[in-house]
A and B are shown apart, each in its own frame.
Chain A
Amino acid sequence: MRKHAIRYIAVLAALTLLSSVFAGCGKTSGGTEAEKPITIGVLVPLSGSEAYYGNDMLQSYKLACDEINAAGGVLGRKLALYEADDGCDPNMATQAASKIIAKGVDFVVGGYGSGATIPTLQLFYDEDLLMLVSCANSTDITKLGLNQTFMINSPGTHAVITLTELCKSLGTKKVALIHQGDAYTKNLSDICEKELPKSDIAIAKVQVMEKNTPDVSAIVTAIRNSGADFVYWCGYHADGSNVIKQLRRGGYQGNIAVGDGSASVELISACGSDGEGVYVTSPPFVEFAQGGEKFVADYKAKFNMAPGTYATLCYDTIYLLKEAIEQAGTTETASVRDAVQGAAYQGLSGMIKFTPEREPAVSNFIILQIKDGKFDLVTL
């Protein structure tokens, strides 16, 4: 009897497999050019450790699209999103990119981790697709020299400018850096190593901490012995909270700042009282943006949760694209590309403009500090 059951399950599983293969084969068709929605591919991590951010990004894109559609769309056409999960992994990301390309989208937005985003850019470029990278901010993205790739989020160099200002105002002498070895966090650490000494701030030590390292005592000891009076954590919040707790419990008295990879309310809850006073070089959090109240209210009403770190950047990305399409008067890639290059869009995250290298011309980093279990805007 048991054997029969297993056999039936196996057959059933096989049938499901087959049917979904064939279901995936059907290509969409129908509708004339003018009626068809403008499809925007969304490349975000929807599974794995970074799924929280990917989901937040997707919801922000959705909110912007729904607003635009309710107001009549763009050039009389609706906007439609088509998301693909990049899992924040290079191999999965190229697969997701193929999925987006196969759908025949008009534009692509998204990109959370630089490591996963970079391999997809050539694929999109080969298909003559415009890619607006909302979050990934390694300068390697623009170094590829693909003239249809734009970075919306300020790169690490902007974060370090903000960090230098913070260090100067605190009278910092020696900074210890910790990164997690991946493209994004190492890039940030490398820039700090290069730029901070120019402002007479010494680098005490650069530590590497792999993701999901449970024991950080070696790093804490090394930092305490290095005589640093400022620790800059370049990594992500999951491990960052652990480092902050251990530093404080190990008797470290100096200042601690974290990079935008840790700029999440989850950092506050994970750190508890040890997190008090920690600085964040943060992307433009919506709570501190001008005109952000309406966005927060709408986001909460729609998704029943608070908007996350990159919500404003993603929201602005869609509006920037809308403006560019309207200015170009067409969805043709080359014209829209030129419109984006020349854009000066005032969004929730600040002014969005591009350098000739297609990086943001205006920094959108802000400094936050954890006070009484909440983020507080710091003005220097």
Chain B
Amino acid sequence: MHEMSIAEGIRGIIEQSARQNGFDRVTRVRLEIGRFAGVETGALSFAFEVVMRGCAAEGAALEIIELPGRALCYDCGETVEIADRFDPCPNCGGGKLLARGGDEMRIKDMEVL
């Protein structure tokens, strides 16, 4: 359940931003989560709702933008986009792929009042 720690990280960033930008309420938070970030979006949505209680983002809508996974194919040498870690290379059909991106986990933006 490290989604709870991730939600706590989001809360920390929101609280810091509230002090810097002077807002009281967050109505929407947009996250970018890579396919290989190891985040279960359902669990994160649940944790978000619980962890935001009592802060500016209580009740805020959470939007998760999934970013594709990228991998280097050891057979053809191309960097390709794959949906799942074990997908074959869409370029050559090879099975030896090294993840090279898609582990993003960041807050993109927020709608605030």
Are A and B part of the same complex? no
Q: CB within 8 Å of A: which residues of B?
A: none
